[in-house]
Amino acid sequence: MVRGTVAAGLLALLALTLPSVAHAYGWPLKPFDRMHPIRGTFDDPRFHVATNLTWKGSFHSGVDISAPDGTAVYAVEPGLVVRGPDSVSLRRPNRREFGYWHIRPVVSTGMHVRLHQLLGYILPGWGHVHFAETVAGKYRDPLRHGALTPYRELNAPVVAAISVEREDGHALQSIGPDVSGTVALIADAYMLPSVEPPAPWNRARLVPSLVRWRLIPSTGDPPTPWRTAADFRFRLLPASMYSTVYAPGTYQNKPNRPGAYRFWLTQSLDTQSLPNGVYWIDVQAVDLSGKVGETELQITVAN
């Protein structure tokens, strides 16, 4: 059961979800004035194998727009071309730059292209164009308010599960509702795309823009202040933060397999700092438009 809404707090939260307005631009695929399916979003999890064969995680620097291999990709704004072997960057005089990756370029470095000029074609085997934007050298979310247009988040986020876990050796073990000592709290949350990608990516899930949590005592005392678990609204997070944001068991979308996004609420809640009794762990996931998904888990602190 989700306990009471927090209308005033959500109004304030909505205000925070509206970063400074950018100059709006259309989509890099035809039709330019229609939403296209998204299968990967800003700051979602990415995995890489390092040279020593260990896994490393990082945050996604743009959005993956689904389209068939060979689809034409166009400039969302005019700019100066920097061509890579499988990418095109367009530089603007106002310190903005747009990146189009996983394409076969048909333009050359040093060219100045006009709005909606053809840049290249999606390469075989990719099924999407990775579209990124930087402002003054810093990545920004193209889906933020006032940027890629039209874009609307039609589905409210979902908090699918909350778990209380304890480290057992090098693994996490879920524990029951009676807790004591130091425990970890994890929330599974996601959003569904506004436009469903084509198979085999039609099961794709997206990350919320904000995940936050609090404890609500059963005594009627005020809840603890909201604590932020993940905030993807304003910037690309550094790879060094990956293991503090995404919990073990997190993975990105793959063909025929939806992504799983497990967020650390805390890795070390000391229940001995709390009076014994019943509490609700209250978790909210929020999208860029301010829509909220919320779930609670009842626990009993018994030190």
Residue 273 φ/ψ, nearest 5 degrees: -85, 0
Residue 68 contacts by C-beta under 8 Å, 6 or more apart in sequence? 122, 127, 198
Query: Which residue ranges does the chain devote to CATH 2.60.40?
Result: 7-14+154-301
| 156, two tokens | 């409210």
Dihedral Cα 261, 97, 50, 264, nearest 10 deg? -20
- What amino acid occupies position 18? L
Query: Which residue ranges does the chain devote to CATH 2.70.70.10?
Result: 18-140
Mean pLDDT by groups of 10 residues along the chain of 303 residues:
46 42 86 98 85 78 98 98 98 94 98 98 98 96 96 97 88 91 97 97 98 97 97 95 94 96 96 96 97 98 93
User: For the structural domain made of 18-140, what CATH number should be given?
Assistant: 2.70.70.10
Q: Can you tell me the distance from the alpha carbon of 180 to that of 301, in angstroms, rounded to the nearest whole number?
A: 6
How many residues are recorded in the chain? Answer: 303
| 226, two tokens | 């909201």
Q: Can you tell me the distance from the alpha carbon of 274 to that of 270, in angstroms, rounded to the nearest whole number?
A: 8
Nearest CA among 172, 160, 195 for reference residue 268: 172
Q: Can you tell me the distance from the alpha carbon of 161 to that of 159, in angstroms, rounded to the nearest whole number?
A: 6
Task: Quote the radius of gyration of the chain (alpha carbons, Å).
Answer: 21
Residue with tokens 């709290």: 185
Residue 14 φ/ψ, nearest 5 degrees: -60, -40
Burial (CB < 10 A; 0-12, 13-18, 19+), residue 31, is exposed
| 165, two tokens | 């876990």
Tell how far CA 99 is from the center of its chain: 19
pLDDT at 54: 66
User: For the structural domain made of 7-14+154-301, what CATH number should be given?
Assistant: 2.60.40
CA atoms within 13 A on the CB side of 53: 0
